Structure 1
């Protein structure tokens, strides 16, 4: 089983509904099922991008932005999502970015240009102990663009973002 970075755009009303369902369910199941168009599976791309930033530009402000975009801010308001129906329990429980935090992250991600960093990445190399087929620069660029667009759309719609590893 591969672990991947997951994100979901949700309204605060949806989170409130899930919290209420979890509170009344005998097993605490929050009936978590955000629409497919509001979810994003980043695979392992952002973890690799973070690792590359840490090696090549360890003091770059972009590191904090990327970390926040996939780690969230505070998971207490969504503790009810700490349930096997939501994630597999391998990593920490889902964490939340409020709509205001999503807007901040969206603006910071929009200001990022990873092109100059990725120019220093060889086209073909070993990734995570297994051979990576294809150009990792294209893979990382594509997934970073997905992350930027995901947050931009969430910010425009005033949505929160829930992040977890599954």
Structure 2
């Protein structure tokens, strides 16, 4: 099974309940199980999205927002989610999270990114475009443009919905 980027939008109360369950459980089980409709699998898109935005000249503010959207922040302690034997990220970096305020800021900035325009800056030759994007882009079925656009649109919509619902996000690789 491949390790892919996962995001979950959850209420702060749910995270608090999971933290409490982990602290009270003899085996540190947090009972982490967000509803499937509030989980997004970004596959391997995060690094590819970041790489395609760099040569296109996306400004630092929006690149940082994209990076935060896929890497999270350290303002919320979610270390209890990384405790064995119930770790949610046993194969990747420790889980991170964004507060509802951070989610709203990221959602606003993601909404300002025109990924179609960024993808239009790629060379028209698919081999040259794949070479520019880098490692992993060559094996994408349907081509990197379609893949990146679908994943970015899903990420932007996921954040928009989380922002409207005042939810926080937890991010991990699984």
Shift of 1:61: 2.9
Q: Deviations over 1:60-100 (max 9, x none)?
A: 43220111001111165212111343424222211010011
Name the CA distance, whole Å, in 2 between partners of 1:106 and 1:137. 22
Name the CA distance, whole Å, in 1 between partners of 2:116 and 2:137. 25
Name the CA distance, whole Å, in 1 between partners of 2:16 and 2:23. 11
CA RMSD between the two structures? 2.0
Report the equivalent of 1:73: 73
Report the equivalent of 2:146: 138
Shift of 1:132: 2.7
Change in 2 beyond 3 A, CA 1:123/1:42: farther
Change in 2 beyond 3 A, CA 1:9/1:105: same
| Greater helix proportion | 2
Shift of 1:110: 0.7
Change in 2 beyond 3 A, CA 1:95/1:136: same
Q: What is the TM-score of this pair, normalised by structure 2?
A: 0.86
Report the equivalent of 1:160: 168
Q: Deviations over 1:121-144 (max 9, x none)?
A: 346345527533312111111110
SS where residue 150 of structure 1 aligns? Answer: helix
Q: Deviations over 1:33-82 (max 9, x none)?
A: 00000000010112201012234427543220111001111165212111
Name the CA distance, whole Å, in 2 between partners of 1:92 and 1:159. 22
- Structure 1 unmatched runs, 5+: none
Name the CA distance, whole Å, in 2 between partners of 1:91 and 1:69. 17
Q: What is the TM-score of this pair, normalised by structure 1?
A: 0.90
Change in 2 beyond 3 A, CA 1:72/1:12: same
Name the CA distance, whole Å, in 2 between partners of 1:157 and 1:108. 17
Report the equivalent of 1:150: 158
- 8 Å CA contact retained: 1:75, 1:94: no
Name the CA distance, whole Å, in 2 between partners of 1:58 and 1:110. 13
Q: What is the aligned length? A: 166
